[in-house]
Amino acid sequence: MAEDFIGSVKEIEQEAEVLMEQARSEARAILEEARKQAGDILSRSLPLDEVKREQEKIVQTARTQAETMIENARQQAEAHRKTAGTRLDEVVSLMLTHLKGNNSSSA
């Protein structure tokens, strides 16, 4: 029984070693391919003018979106101020009515 267990453990260890070597081999191949691709990319001359134009386009789009968002926020804030002002007037009016009513009934 113990011999079977030991034999099974040895088989598992051997299989694990085979798998580890396969993984190492695949990792080496992947790294080599990545090095080749990196070398190709670095050896190419990048079209900096196109990159700069794209960068400016992205920045301009972001600015436009930000300005739109800011304007929308300003409009919403103004609407809230108007609503708050109207409600404040209503509350003051109700308070005055209530106070006038209390003063006239107590006098």
> What is the pTM (predicted TM-score) of this model?
0.42
Q: What are phi and psi of 102, to 5 degrees?
A: -70, -40
Q: At residue 104, does pLDDT exceed 60?
A: no
Distance CA 78, CA 7 (A): 81
Over residues 27-36, the pLDDT tens digits come to 989 988 898 8
Q: What residue spans define the domains of the chain?
A: 1-43, 63-107
Q: Tens digits of per-residue pLDDT, 1-27?
A: 556 656 777 788 888 888 888 998 899
Written as one letter, the residue type at 25 is S
Is 44 in a helix, a strand, or coil?
A: coil
User: CA 11, CA 76: separation in Å to the nearest integer?
Assistant: 72
